[in-house]
């Protein structure tokens, strides 16, 4: 479009220049020169293009797509050729339940039905690249740019494959075999989109979210397991406390048995004699010791004579 305007400007400038020349009007002649110069600058600006790294340019000449693509860097071209760039570096397409995290604003997670008829919500990302040698075919037959390609091929293919693969797994398997789930998705995506000039690199399962009813059941189960663990700890503590009390009681019983074994009549009589000696040496108290047996082998009675004074 700019090149066409440039050519138009050159033609108008030349006509204005010659009209001004024939009529000897200096102002008209100068206006013609300015218009011609602007037209030349416009043509020159459309005679080259700079392609950024990681991109290729498709050449469109009045609606016809040329077979040769332009690679990154400085490229000379026909000023009337329009260049449509495609990104061929590694790209990511994300479907997420979190707003503004995925390619589509809002909740864009994929709802699937598992083998055990449970509805899950899956967040995932797909890495892919566009084959630079097939960009012209993509432009001719599939999409006019990267955004159009995502809408027509990437998005529907990913959603369809995710739903198909999910039917082969139970809810528990989607959690325990996540890597296998991703690999099977990659395999099926390759069969669909690799034929369109797109190469699947990897599928990343970001989150598998069960329904709220299942979440509640899982939470209740975890609470019950935690309660059982708490009770087990309490029982273990009680058992250990009982063992400590048993050991303590056994120690007391053993001590008492030892004492009882040592408390023979002779031993008791010996201890009594020692007590008598201490009483006999007392200066402030008068005692009368009366034996309780004929042999004086029992524990005697000790009477304090000062008690009645």
Provide the domain count of the chain. Answer: 4
pLDDT number for residue 251: 75
Q: Which of 158-162, 164-168, 305-309 has the lowest mean pLDDT?
A: 305-309
| Rounded Cα–Cα distance for residues 288 and 301 (Å) | 8
Please identify, among 42, 59, 84, the residue that sits at the C-terminal boundary of a domain: 84
Domain interval for residue 304: 265-308
Please indicate, yes or no, whether residues 248 and 191 belong to a single structural domain of this protein.
no
| Rounded Cα–Cα distance for residues 112 and 122 (Å) | 8
pLDDT in tens, 132-161: 999 999 999 999 999 999 999 999 999 999
pLDDT in tens, 172-227: 888 889 999 999 999 999 999 988 999 999 999 998 888 766 656 655 665 566 66
pLDDT number for residue 129: 95
Closest by CA to 39, choosing from 72, 65, 77, 13, is 13
φ, ψ (nearest 5 deg) of residue 117: 60, 35
Q: Which residue has the higher pLDDT, 65 or 269?
A: 65
pLDDT number for residue 112: 92
CATH number for the domain that contains residue 188 = 3.30.479.30
Q: Which residues contact 19 (CB under 8 A, 6 or more apart)?
A: 28, 32
Q: Which residues contact 36 (CB under 8 A, 6 or more apart)?
A: 9, 10, 13, 14, 17
Mean pLDDT taken over the chain:
78
| C-beta of residue 189 within 8 angstroms of C-beta of residue 158 | yes
Closest by CA to 17, choosing from 4, 2, 35, is 35
Please indicate, yes or no, whether residues 70 and 25 belong to a single structural domain of this protein.
yes
Please identify, among 145, 175, 210, the residue that sits at the C-terminal boundary of a domain: 210
| C-beta of residue 47 within 8 angstroms of C-beta of residue 77 | yes
Please indicate, yes or no, whether residues 58 and 100 belong to a single structural domain of this protein.
no
| Rounded Cα–Cα distance for residues 187 and 208 (Å) | 20
Please indicate, yes or no, whether residues 229 and 130 belong to a single structural domain of this protein.
no
Please indicate, yes or no, whether residues 191 and 222 belong to a single structural domain of this protein.
no
Task: Please state the rounded mean pLDDT for residues 12-37.
Answer: 56
| Rounded Cα–Cα distance for residues 134 and 153 (Å) | 15
The band of 4, judged by pLDDT with boundaries at 50, 70 and 90, is very low
pLDDT in tens, 280-296: 676 655 555 655 555 55
Q: Which residues contact 29 (CB under 8 A, 6 or more apart)?
A: 16, 17, 20, 21
Please indicate, yes or no, whether residues 58 and 148 belong to a single structural domain of this protein.
no
| Rounded Cα–Cα distance for residues 206 and 13 (Å) | 62
Please indicate, yes or no, whether residues 56 and 160 belong to a single structural domain of this protein.
no
Q: Flag whether pLDDT at 18 surpasses 70.
A: no
pTM: 0.60
Please indicate, yes or no, whether residues 293 and 205 belong to a single structural domain of this protein.
no
Closest by CA to 112, choosing from 195, 173, 190, is 173
Q: Which residue has the higher pLDDT, 304 or 82?
A: 82
Q: Flag whether pLDDT at 234 surpasses 60.
A: yes
Please indicate, yes or no, whether residues 185 and 240 belong to a single structural domain of this protein.
no
Which secondary-structure segment (H or E) carries 75? strand 73-76
- Ordered DSSP codes for 90-157: -EEEEE-SSTTTSSSSS--PEEEE-TTS-EEEEEEEEEEEE-GGGHHHHHHHT-SSHHHHIIIIIHHH
pLDDT number for residue 245: 78
Q: Which residue has the higher pLDDT, 116 or 271?
A: 116
Closest by CA to 134, choosing from 72, 86, 182, is 86
Q: Helices (H) and strands (E) in the chain — how many of each?
A: 9, 11
Please indicate, yes or no, whether residues 238 and 274 belong to a single structural domain of this protein.
no
| Rounded Cα–Cα distance for residues 51 and 68 (Å) | 14
Task: Please state the rounded mean pLDDT for residues 49-60.
Answer: 91
pLDDT number for residue 3: 47
| Rounded Cα–Cα distance for residues 17 and 32 (Å) | 5
Please indicate, yes or no, whether residues 205 and 101 belong to a single structural domain of this protein.
yes
DSSP symbol at 47: S
pLDDT in tens, 62-109: 889 998 889 988 988 888 888 999 999 999 999 998 888 888 888 889
Please indicate, yes or no, whether residues 170 and 199 belong to a single structural domain of this protein.
yes
């Amino acid at each position: 479009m700019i090149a066409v305007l440039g050519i138009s400007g050159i033609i108008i400038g030349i006509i204005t220049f010659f009209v001004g020349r024939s009529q000897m009007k200096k102002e008209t002649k100068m206006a013609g020169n300015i218009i011609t110069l602007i037209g030349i600058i416009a043509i020159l600006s459309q005679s080259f293009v700079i392609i950024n790294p990681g991109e290729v340019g498709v050449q469109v000449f009045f609606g016809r797509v040329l077979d040769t693509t332009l690679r990154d860097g400085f490229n000379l071209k026909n000023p009337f050729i329009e260049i449509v760039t495609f990104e061929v570096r590694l790209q990511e397409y994300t479907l997420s339940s979190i707003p503004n995290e995925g390619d589509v604003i809002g909740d864009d997670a994929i709802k699937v039905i598992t083998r055990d008829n449970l509805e899950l919500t899956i967040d995932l990302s797909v890495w892919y690249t566009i084959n630079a040698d097939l960009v012209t075919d993509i432009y001719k037959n599939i999409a006019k740019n990267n955004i159009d390609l995502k809408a027509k091929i990437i998005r529907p293919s990913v959603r369809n494959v995710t739903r198909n693969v999910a039917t082969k797994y139970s809810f528990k398997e989607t959690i325990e075999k996540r890597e296998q789930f991703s690999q099977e998705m990659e395999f099926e995506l390759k069969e669909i989109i690799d034929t369109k000039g797109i190469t699947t690199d990897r599928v990343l399962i970001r989150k598998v979210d069960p329904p709220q009813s299942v979440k509640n059941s899982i939470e209740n189960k975890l609470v019950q397991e935690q309660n059982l663990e708490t009770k087990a700890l309490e029982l273990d503590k009680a058992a250990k406390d009982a063992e400590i009390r048993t050991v303590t009681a056994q120690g007391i019983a053993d001590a008492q048995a030892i004492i009882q074994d040592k408390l023979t009549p002779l031993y008791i009589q010996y201890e009594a004699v020692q007590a008598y000696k201490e009483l006999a040496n007392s200066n402030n108290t008068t005692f009368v010791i009366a034996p309780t047996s004929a042999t004086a082998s029992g524990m005697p009675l000790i009477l304090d004579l000062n008690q009645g004074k």
